[in-house]
Amino acid sequence: MSRRVVSLWFPRLASDRFLRSRPIDAPFALTHRQGNTERLYCLNAAASQQGLHTGMGYSDARAFCLDLQTHPADPAGDQAFLQVLARWAKRYCPWVGLEGADGLVLDITGSAHLFGGEAPLLHDIHQRLARAGLFVRSGVADTRGAAWALAHYGKGIAARAQQLDAIGQLPVAALRLDQKPSIALQRLGVRSIADLHALPRATITRRFGPEVLLRLDQALGTQAETISPLPDPPAYQVRLSLPDPIGLQADVMAGTARLLDQLCDKLTAQEMGARVLQLCLRRVDKGTQEIDIRLARAMRDPQRILTLFERGIGDIDAGFGIDQMRLVATLVEPVAVEQVTHSQVEAGDKLDDLITRIGNRIGLDNVQRFLPADSHIPERSFIVAPAAYSTPAGRWVSLRERPIQIFPPEPITGAGATPPASLRWRRMSFRVERATGPERIAPEWWLSDENWRSGVRDYWKVETKQGRRLWLFYTPQNPAWFVQGQFA
């Protein structure tokens, strides 16, 4: 049985992926910055019909097509989507690899008959991709090079052992040559693959090097070319089948410990850590109990993780017994290898474990921490972030003392540019003992904030006889006094 290869080319992969979720019935293009110029990255069919092309400058494209709509490109997302397509293509054959940044190659040797032949198989591929909103071109041949040539410069299915007849009239660029030798061959009048095949091989090698003949031989099948399939992603799951059902909490914890040891060994070998774990317990009556653990940090320490399962295992209903246990890391993250002291590890571990325990009860997103932000505006000098998805920022840098509590400005009665001798705030009366200031803060003109429409603010630190230490400010451009914070 001769080898058969399918080449799939997605010339509009990036734009099709974007338009799948946001359809646009107009010329559309994705753009990316190359040097100091914004250029077209990928176009839809309507934009191509307007005469636009990939690599064209954005300003030139707008001059040709005034109604052109654009969006920044996402090359990383496109590659991830191509990986998804590669996994989908395994429904046709187990041997699927990537062909550049916008194509797939499938070795369908021995599997085409399952779909009624090569033509029905291609028809099924095109139909399914069209329903998904993807435009694809394809080619089938005995070799990877010939299939690529048909997908990019021709169409159809090459007959077995007839590669030269199928691709002979295609341009030499169909041999996957670099731009320089391809242009040089065309200038010499060698425009088709058949013309190149008729030339003396020694002459070709002396003039253009071995690459041209290598690509020609790969396309015609005289030189072997392998297809490297995508490796299957590692499965971070382990299972334990029990000869006799168990139901005691101690027995379930012991089984979980065995599973964690195996799972953490896999994670360590791949330098990964688990963020979400699921323990599935199957009872003898075929019922299942599931325990989900969300971790504040990616971890692979079985002893630390085991203690986090105690509460969930204590609440399970074992029924007539558990005969199978399965542990799955449903979300993993890379964990860099680092060398730390025992004291550093212990301090960080205790905090992460505390966040994990609290977060599994109220939600990890509800355990938050304050982080410094690069702004001299008081209410913008910090951000609130989930503690599980952020790291402490160390010491806060502040040239002036800031209050322990900041709230939206609350107006008070006062006249003049100095703090009033007495004030009434939140239905309480205060007499000012000492005032320190002013500290003038100007608004950030590049940001629009309704709260700073009154212009600059003069901040004062005020100590009252009643013991309160308040943070007041005065707006000289629109005279008024406000309280915005309290010191400890």
Amino acid occupying residue 327: L
Name every residue whose Cβ is closer than 8 Å to that of residue 76 and which is 6 or more positions away in sequence. none
pLDDT exceeds cutoff 60 at 341: no
Three-state secondary-structure class, residue 5: strand
pLDDT exceeds cutoff 60 at 344: no
- In 403-480, beta strands by DSSP E: 405-412, 422-425, 428-441, 457-464, 469-474
CB 277 within 8 A of CB 293: yes
Mind listing the pLDDT tens digit for each residue in 442-451?
Answer: 998 888 888 8
Lowest-pLDDT range, 133-147, 209-223, 381-395, 415-429? Answer: 381-395
Average pLDDT over residues 178-184: 90
pLDDT, residue 348, reads 63
pLDDT exceeds cutoff 90 at 376: no
Average pLDDT over residues 466-480: 94
pLDDT, residue 1, reads 53
Average pLDDT over residues 29-34: 93
pLDDT, residue 400, reads 81
Query: Which one has a higher pLDDT value, 130 or 396?
Result: 130
Average pLDDT over residues 180-191: 91
pLDDT exceeds cutoff 90 at 475: yes
Average pLDDT over residues 298-314: 91
> How many percent of the chain have pLDDT more than 70?
97
Lowest-pLDDT range, 182-186, 233-237, 247-251? Answer: 233-237
Average pLDDT over residues 91-99: 93
pLDDT, residue 397, reads 72
Lowest-pLDDT range, 400-404, 476-480, 481-485? Answer: 400-404
The sign one gets for the Cα dihedral 251, 254, 260, 263 is: negative
Amino acid occupying residue 203: T
d(CA 443, CA 322): 64
Q: Would strands 382-386 and 368-372 be described as parallel, antiparallel, or unpaired?
A: antiparallel
pLDDT exceeds cutoff 70 at 345: no
d(CA 112, CA 68): 42
Strand partners, 332: 274
pLDDT, residue 224, reads 87
Average pLDDT over residues 331-353: 71
| Look-up of token digits 């190659």 | 105
pLDDT, residue 347, reads 54
d(CA 10, CA 101): 9
Mind listing the pLDDT tens digit for each residue in 198-226?
Answer: 999 998 999 888 999 999 999 999 998 88
Mind listing the pLDDT tens digit for each residue in 36-71?
Answer: 889 999 999 999 999 999 999 999 999 989 899 999
d(CA 344, CA 321): 42
Q: How far is CA 470 from CA 54, 433, 434, 483, in A?
A: 61, 11, 11, 7
